[in-house]
Each structure stands twice: as structure tokens, then as C-alpha cells.
């Protein structure tokens, strides 16, 4: 069953090394474009966190709008491709608190990407955030680590922050994941004591790839979590 499935870090690194990154969206995610105002809530100059960021193009969009973006990702290849594909000059430096970690930052300082395990981060290292775009992160962490992941994310949130969360819905008996199926009831038990949760939209995202996995439906489900 999915709850016992464990994907090792090496498996994610291998996906980046071999280019089997079907989860990366070259043009960015339409749900973030559609609901960006809900995330920003009329505010400018926010600090926005991208957990398990890969080389998400939305990091550049938000930085170009004047926000400060922080991401974390285990694959250095993914992060270097992000800077290369957007022709962004960057510098890298070690992170003293985390053995072996690197911080890759644009020379303008508005995008800082940490190359390490997300579980090595803390608010004392990265600060706190006004917004989160979590697409492909909660659904990628091992089910046994879900509580640990959410507990960390909650410590990184400012009061009155907004968290856009994308999960996926399909028959979990037909595909072992990732991405993993996270039902709404679990979102409520994980986050419910800390924020208001509202489902904004469910989108049919079924493709040939999902058919190859043996699925007959695949939905993306978008939530807004408001930390009040």
C-alpha cells in the first residue's frame, strides 16, 4: 500500500540526472496563474517559499513581480538548470548550519535556493514566509514523513500567511506513487489545527502518462490554507 512506500533521495536525484522529470511544467502551472491573487491577497513584497522546488519557472515569475523567493531541492542539477534556463547570474555559498548544504542565490538576492534535504531547514536558517506554493511537494514526500513535513511547514509560516497546496486524486490501489494520493480528510487532520482550509478547484489532469500507470482518472486538487 502507499503508506509503506519509501522513495529514497537517490531515486529523486536519478530522475533529474536522467531527465525523467515528467512532473516539471515548462510553462509554469495554470492554477498558480489563476489563483495568484488568492495567494498574494493584495500584498506586495512577500517572502514566498517553494518546497521541493525543482526548477519551477514560477520562482522567476514571482521574483520579477518584486517578491522574495526561497526554494529547497536535493538536486543541485535542478537548481543549476533553473539559473541557466533563465540566464540568471548566481553565486553559491555553504550553509554553515547544515553539513554539505549549499545556498545558490541570484546576485540581486531575490531568489535563494537551498540544495539540501528540506528536513534540514528551520526558521532560524531560512526565516518565515508570507506565502507558499506547494505543488508536487506534499504529494512527493514519503507518506511516513507527511506529519514531519507538515510540522516543519507550519513552523515556517508567518501569521496571516497563505499556502496554496496542490494535491492529486486517483485510485491509490492502481498506482504506487509518487505522486501520492492525499485525501481531503488527511489535509484537514494535518493542517486543520493551524489554519482555515478551503478547496478552490479540482482539475482533470488525466494524460497518456496516467493511462500508462494503469489509472482511469487523475485530478489535481487545489486548496488555500490561511494561517490566522
Q: What is the pLDDT of residues 211-226, one digit of tens each?
A: 999 999 999 999 999 9
Q: Is residue 129 part of a domain?
A: yes
Would you say 188 is a known binding-site residue? no
Q: Is 213 annotated as a binding residue?
A: no
197 is in an annotated binding site: no
Give mean pLDDT, residues 25-40.
97
Asked if residue 185 is part of any domain, the answer here is: yes
Cell numbers 511544467 correspond to 25
- Whether 1 is in a domain gets the answer no
19 has binding-site annotation: yes
22 annotated among ligand-binding-site residues: yes
The mean predicted confidence, pLDDT, of the chain is: 97
CATH of residue 182? 3.40.50.150
Instruction: Please tell me whether 77 is known to bind a ligand.
Output: no
Residue 61 assigned as binding residue: no
Work out the angle at residue 109's Cα, subtended by the Cα atoms of residues 161 and 99, and round it to the nearest 5 degrees.
85
Q: What is the pLDDT of residues 137-148, one digit of tens each?
A: 999 999 999 999
Q: Is 49 annotated as a binding residue?
A: no
| pLDDT(1) > 90 | no
Residue 114 lies in a domain: yes
Q: Does 23 fall in a domain?
A: no
Q: How many domains does the chain have?
A: 1
Residue 105 structural domain: 9-16+31-227
Tell which residue, 104, 72, 102, 74, has the closest CA to residue 88. 104
Instruction: Write down the pTM of the prediction.
Output: 0.98
Residue 118 in marked binding region: yes
Within-domain flag for 25: no
Amino acid at each position: 500500500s502507499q503508506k509503506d512506500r519509501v522513495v529514497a533521495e537517490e531515486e529523486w536525484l536519478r530522475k533529474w540526472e536522467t531527465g525523467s522529470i515528467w512532473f516539471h511544467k515548462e510553462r509554469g502551472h495554470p492554477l498558480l496563474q489563476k489563483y495568484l491573487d488568492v495567494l498574494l491577497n493584495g500584498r506586495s513584497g512577500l517572502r514566498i517559499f517553494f518546497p521541493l522546488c525543482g526548477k519551477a519557472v514560477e520562482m522567476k515569475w514571482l521574483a520579477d513581480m518584486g517578491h522574495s523567493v526561497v526554494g529547497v531541492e536535493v538536486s543541485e542539477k535542478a537548481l543549476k538548470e533553473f539559473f541557466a534556463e533563465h540566464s540568471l547570474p548566481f553565486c553559491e555559498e555553504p550553509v554553515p548550519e547544515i553539513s554539505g548544504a549549499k545556498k545558490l542565490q541570484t546576485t540581486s538576492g531575490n531568489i535563494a535556493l537551498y540544495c539540501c534535504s528540506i528536513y534540514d531547514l528551520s526558521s532560524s536558517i531560512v526565516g518565515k514566509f508570507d506565502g507558499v506554493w506547494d505543488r508536487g511537494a506534499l504529494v512527493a514526500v514519503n507518506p511516513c514523513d507527511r506529519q514531519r513535513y507538515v510540522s516543519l511547514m507550519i513552523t515556517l509560516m508567518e501569521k496571516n500567511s497563505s499556502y496554496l497546496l496542490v494535491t492529486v486524486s486517483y485510485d491509490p490501489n492502481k498506482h504506487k506513487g509518487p505522486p501520492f494520493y492525499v485525501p481531503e480528510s488527511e489535509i484537514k487532520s494535518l493542517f486543520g489545527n493551524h489554519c482555515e482550509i478551503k478547496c478552490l478547484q479540482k482539475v482533470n489532469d488525466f494524460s497518456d502518462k496516467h493511462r500508462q500507470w494503469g489509472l482511469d482518472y487523475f485530478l489535481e486538487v487545489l486548496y488555500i490554507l490561511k494561517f490566522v
